[in-house]
Structure 1
Amino acid sequence: MTPNSVTTLSLVTGLSLLVGLPAVAQDAGKAEGFTCPAVPDPVVTLEYGSRYTAESEDRSDLDAETNAEVDRALGPVDDFIIDLANAANRAEEGGEDAVLAADCVVDAVAVWAEANALSDLGSMNAEISTPSRLGGIALAYLQARPHAAQSDDAQQTVIEDWLQERMLSTMAYFDNEAPERASQNNLRAWAGLAAAAVGTATSNGDITGWAADTVELVACQADSDGALPLEMARGPRALQYQLHATAPLVVGAALLSEAGADLFAACDGAIHRIVNFVPQAFEDPDLVAEKAGETQTYFDGEDELEGWELAWAEAYLSKFDSPALAGMVEEFRPLANSKLGGAQDLFW
């Protein structure tokens, strides 16, 4: 984070503290003017099945029809988060549009909060994929709130009560009902990042405590190379899911570190190993193939690495030196991911 962002976050906290890989790329360019985007109708109900075929034991074979159904269901939510992140980033940039952009974010989140959006989750897949969306909303709000015009206390209460209610529901689900793997893998990590963002935005120590416990729970599974076994079990998409877990672990740990939690040191530096595994894996594809048992889609021509998958690197590099990681991400800069708060060079 920039020094100004650290100060803002400290004030905000009061010094306390997948059912698939969604399309989360974000335009990192700088617009010449700013207009508040229209607020979409709040999405209250989500219910859908898996993106994967029933026969796919490692959950790596996409079903084209059900994958499209999931995208249609989540599309309005993801588009909303992209708009929020862009506006929050505009506020963070400063300038004459900063207050307008920040007010746009706060007002839009208030509309969804008043409607109790994302509260009716009718399937397991909706339960486990919604936390990353809640986290994206909370991170945009966390950025925008300090720049907004004089706050409306009633509006702030509505927003923060909603964020906490949705987060507490998520915490209960992952602790008591989530499938065994989902309760420990990248999906749990995204729930942890959501908790870090919501807990920070609302100064709720119970929620930030759960976030810290979650980051540690997932990170401490890493092997000596930094590979996460539950992600390595995803066959040809193992490295995709390793990256998908790395993002919330790094950003969650970085966010919580602003309040003094040193999660990077947990389990003999597990998150450092997880981070280092990324450039190593792309330098030596056999490293992942040996662990996953299959050649990865990044290396057989099916998939291409994109910048949003590496956006978490800015948070890590703002705190630690890693020439290998810095060299790897340079060609992808500026790095942005709407579910991590948008343009990461503004956030960190």
Structure 2
Amino acid sequence: MKRILMTGALVAALPAPALMAQEASDVSCIEVAEPVVSLDYGSRYTDESEDRSDLDEASNDAVDAALGPIDDFIVALTGKANDAARDGDAEAAACVVDALAVWAEADAISDLESMNANLSSPSRFGAMALAYLQAKSAAEIDPDQAEVIEGWLVERARHATQWFDTEAPTMASQNNLRAWAGLAAAAVGEAAGNDYLKAWAHTTFALVACQADEDGALKWEMERGPRALHYQIHAVAPLVVGGALLQDDGYPTFEMCNGAVHRAVEFIPAAFEAPEMVEEKAGEPQTFSTGEDELKSFELAWAEAYLSLFDAPEIEAFVEEYRPLGNSKLGGSQSALW
């Protein structure tokens, strides 16, 4: 989020008035849903699916129902955050901050009662941290609100770091889910100036990316059978955006392990050009090849961050037809950020 971080530094240097806190009942620019404090649900996949690729429709619907209010809030939040970032809109920034303060004061997403709740929550509070970063780029934040929001985000992120280090299952502790926890730690670390979280994020990106083989295939994603390529793309998103967030802090995310992140990125267009390469690694035809899945724009939103840092004609050409690129879990409209 280089553009956002640079803009934020300029805002901090100006004598602009701070954003003033509002009571929750005064928040009208974003319809703030009741904060979700507790999450408790099982897996999206059938019990018999050893490679975690066969969806259980009923369980999948239950997970969507539990996460739906959070995801809807994130979509609304990132829309306003993009307005703040793109136009330097202080009123939009105030909307974001006021809405986040409601969830922070309620200690949202703090009661995680199942393994799967712990696995999926980092991408949610990480998205909120990315929205908050955009608000900070547009206006000064009232110190009291900043303390509440940043304190809450740090608590959520510290819980995630401990959980992934000590309790996560073997696969999840090293695959795309770990990478999304890394992005959350990077975003919160940048938002709150927390060096521990930024360092943990970099270590996490190394853990995930350095498993890439010479072609760029990520080991644990290739274990996902017919959805291996889907999960490769899902893992690349936090690796790229998280690495870009940490770029100005001196973390060599893109250089580590002989350019492992670059290889993982380049594997994606190569895999669509030569599907047999993924089929050989995963042991099965991929859902993109069989017609079960269709590549969507939001899955490639990470490319704008990558292209803001590197000259990559093959990636540029591959994503062109999918523009504009946006993903609420990555901060919304990527053209507003990078």
After TM superposition, the score normalised by the length of structure 1 is 0.90
Is 1:128 paired with 2:119? yes
Question: Equivalents in 1 of 2:70, 2:315: separation in Å?
Answer: 31
Aligned length: 324
1:271 to 250, 257, 261: 261
Is 1:90 paired with 2:89? no
Partner of 1:165: 155
- CA positional deviation for 1:9: 5.0
SS in 1 for 2:320: helix
Q: Could you say what the CA RMSD is over the residues aligned between the two structures, in angstroms?
A: 1.6
Structure 2 counterpart of 1:287, which letter? M
User: Is the contact made by 1:10 and 1:259 (CA closer than 8 Å) also made in structure 2?
Assistant: no
| Structure 2 unmatched runs, 5+ | 14-27
Query: Which portions of structure 1, spanning 4 or more consecutive aligned residues, are displaced by more than 4 angstroms?
Result: 9-14
Partner of 1:5: 4
- CA positional deviation for 1:63: 0.3
Partner of 1:77: 70
Question: Equivalents in 2 of 1:215, 1:9: separation in Å?
Answer: 25
Partner of 1:25: none
| Cα distance, 1:215–1:10 mapped onto 2, change above 3 Å | farther
Question: Equivalents in 1 of 2:303, 2:191: separation in Å?
Answer: 23
Residues 292-333 of structure 1: CA deviation (Å, up to 9, x unaligned): 011100111111000000000001111111111110100011
User: Is the contact made by 1:13 and 1:200 (CA closer than 8 Å) also made in structure 2?
Assistant: no
Structure 2 counterpart of 1:290, which letter? E
Partner of 1:100: 91
2:165 to 172, 175, 178: 175
Residues 157-184 of structure 1: CA deviation (Å, up to 9, x unaligned): 0001000011101111001111111111
Q: Output aligned runs, 1:260-299, within 5 Å.
A: 260-299=250-289
2:144 to 133, 137, 154: 154
Question: Equivalents in 2 of 1:10, 1:174: separation in Å?
Answer: 32
SS in 2 for 1:264: coil
Structure 1 counterpart of 2:158, which letter? L
User: Is the contact made by 1:131 and 1:191 (CA closer than 8 Å) also made in structure 2?
Assistant: yes
Question: Equivalents in 1 of 2:41, 2:255: separation in Å?
Answer: 38
After TM superposition, the score normalised by the length of structure 2 is 0.93
Question: Equivalents in 2 of 1:72, 1:299: separation in Å?
Answer: 29
| Cα distance, 1:145–1:234 mapped onto 2, change above 3 Å | same
| Structure 1 unmatched runs, 5+ | 15-34
2:45 to 31, 45, 52: 52
Q: Output aligned runs, 1:146-295, within 5 Å.
A: 146-148=137-139, 150-295=140-285
- CA positional deviation for 1:10: 5.3
SS in 1 for 2:173: coil
- CA positional deviation for 1:240: 0.5
Partner of 1:324: 314
- CA positional deviation for 1:151: 2.6
Question: Equivalents in 2 of 1:9, 1:93: separation in Å?
Answer: 12
Structure showing greater relative contact order (alpha-carbon pairs closer than 8 Å, 6 or more residues apart) = 1
Residues 87-122 of structure 1: CA deviation (Å, up to 9, x unaligned): 100111216xx1111111000110000000000000
1:63 to 26, 51, 56: 56
Structure 1 counterpart of 2:42, which letter? G
Question: Equivalents in 2 of 1:322, 1:9: separation in Å?
Answer: 28
SS in 1 for 2:289: coil
1:40 to 33, 37, 44: 33
